[in-house]
Structure 1
Amino acid sequence: MSQPGYPGIVGHRGAAAVSAENTLTAFARGEADGADAIELDVHLTANGELAVIHDATVDRTAVAGRTTGAVSALTWAQLQDVELADGERIPSLAQALAAIGVEIHVEIKAPAAAVPATELVRAAGLFDRVVMTSFDIDALRDVRAVAPDVRVGVISAAPTPQARDAVRELGAASLALQVRQLDDRMVEEVHTEGALVCGWPVLTSDDLRAALAAGVDLVTADDPAWCRAALAALRH
């Protein structure tokens, strides 16, 4: 777990640096390697299933079987023909929620997935340890409209006026920004508005030092084990 004065670690797509991203294996690896939270991405299939995958198509991550196609144009059965690295398959959001034991950051990639994903999280009784996040502010508005009590998180490459306004409008629990866009004054301002700040992506020791210098609450890392070891080294 995170230590006082040091940020919590969010496992990016589970543990994307060491396991096939956004798979049940990656989520288990991220949790085992010390992530305080697991981040995953959600799209909606042609027949309304919530699929855990980052891209709008399967083309980048597929290695065998069905190797091309838009997630929104494929049924869940067709999506299961996609073979990922290490023989992995694309999980459903329901499978992921059931498998992960720590906090979960559900990033809405397809706006159409916002409401059904939120309703699934509600049905699973997981509002206490799920944060619904997105770059798409309208998607977060849809989440908030159906679930005023769920935590939401704004993601932005930079602390734009639009992102800062969205944090206030939505009463967001967090604002996630690229590490190179962070500074301690801005982080303090976000804190005064009641939101946590997450730095992403933390891939190197320099990234981690920058995040620590800015005073972030969370860091998103592809390799949670490395990140935890690097934090320990800096602590000592």
Structure 2
Amino acid sequence: MTDSLPTVVGHRGAAAVSPENTLASFARGETDGAAAIELDVHLTADGELAVIHDARVDRTAVGGRTTGAVAELTWPQLQEVELPDGQHIPSLAQALTAIGVDVHVEIKAPAAARPATELVLDAGLGDRVTMTSFDIGALREVREVAPTVAVGVISPAPTAEATDAVGQLDAVSLALQVRHLDPALVQRLQAAGVDVCGWPVLTTDDVRTALEAGVAMMTADDPGWCRDELHRLATRSA
């Protein structure tokens, strides 16, 4: 059973043990065995692709510039934001250069969809990057720019809109909240070549639920812990 365990995606790198969406967090996620790193992208006022989850810097900033909307700040202004452990907000280009495993680029701001996809293409990274989003319109933008780049739909629950979009966009994956995982749906989608990802995996019960649902991937804030729990549970049930 351990030969077919789900792969672990590091959520914002390794958000539980390192400042989220930073180069340090991405490195920690890789070191801890994540098969892929998930990160979030917004667009600054001057057109830079910033790797940050929220539309504002307020929650994650600990010094320097501690407030402001990403879309209203320039890249130099965004670099005034100080994050924990001496980290700063990276650009998407910096992140893609630093990360050595597959990357799931989640488009938070629809305006970032086209330039982020163009950056991935220009960098020649289309073979190891999946463009993901809750926003179906943003994924359609990705498809217009790059018909062959992998896209993934994210949805809290398997709504008709989400499952329809998977087919319409020829998506490679559908990410669903763990509590909404339906083993029958997972099996049906994966038989059709669509990987299902369970998120967020935060507890042993989450790991067990996702594992029993038969997902191909699970997104965890602490990828090292998640891998250990996966192997422990799989060994116990073998």
TM-score band, normalised by the shorter chain? over 0.9
1:225 corresponds in structure 2 to 224
1:109 aligns with 2:93: no
Root-mean-square deviation over aligned CA pairs:
1.0
Are the counterparts in 2 of residues 38 and 105 from structure 1 also a CA contact under 8 Å? yes
Task: Indicate the SS of the match to 1:104.
Answer: strand
- For 1:231 and 1:196, the matched residues in 2 are separated by 18
- For 2:72 and 2:36, the matched residues in 1 are separated by 31
Are the counterparts in 2 of residues 51 and 93 from structure 1 also a CA contact under 8 Å? yes
Offset of residue 5 of structure 1: 2.0
Residues 41-80 of structure 1 mapped to structure 2, 5 A cutoff: 41-80=40-79
Offset of residue 65 of structure 1: 0.4
Task: Indicate the SS of the match to 2:201.
Answer: coil
Offset of residue 190 of structure 1: 1.3
1:97 corresponds in structure 2 to 96
Are the counterparts in 2 of residues 155 and 175 from structure 1 also a CA contact under 8 Å? yes
Are the counterparts in 2 of residues 105 and 130 from structure 1 also a CA contact under 8 Å? yes
- For 2:230 and 2:203, the matched residues in 1 are separated by 11
Offset of residue 191 of structure 1: 1.6
- For 2:132 and 2:145, the matched residues in 1 are separated by 15
Task: Indicate the SS of the match to 1:233.
Answer: helix
Task: Indicate the SS of the match to 1:165.
Answer: helix
- For 1:72 and 1:189, the matched residues in 2 are separated by 40
2:175 corresponds in structure 1 to 176
Are the counterparts in 2 of residues 176 and 198 from structure 1 also a CA contact under 8 Å? yes
Offset of residue 194 of structure 1: 2.1
2:119 corresponds in structure 1 to 120
Are the counterparts in 1 of residues 26 and 99 from structure 2 also a CA contact under 8 Å? yes
Q: Percent identity?
A: 71
Residues 118-157 of structure 1 mapped to structure 2, 5 A cutoff: 118-157=117-156
Deviations 1:108-150 (A, max 9, x none): 0000000000000001100110000000000000000110010
TM-score by length of 2: 0.97
Counterpart code for 2:5: Y
1:25 corresponds in structure 2 to 24
Q: Which runs of 5+ in 1 are unaligned?
A: none
Offset of residue 3 of structure 1: 5.1
Are the counterparts in 1 of residues 53 and 108 from structure 2 also a CA contact under 8 Å? yes
2:10 corresponds in structure 1 to 11
- For 2:2 and 2:14, the matched residues in 1 are separated by 21
Query: Which stretch has the larger CA shift, 108-117 or 190-199?
Result: 190-199
1:186 aligns with 2:165: no
TM-score by length of 1: 0.98
2:213 corresponds in structure 1 to 214
- For 2:162 and 2:196, the matched residues in 1 are separated by 12
- For 1:67 and 1:95, the matched residues in 2 are separated by 22
Task: Indicate the SS of the match to 2:61.
Answer: coil
Offset of residue 193 of structure 1: 3.0
1:164 corresponds in structure 2 to 163
Are the counterparts in 2 of residues 168 and 193 from structure 1 also a CA contact under 8 Å? no
Task: Indicate the SS of the match to 1:220.
Answer: strand
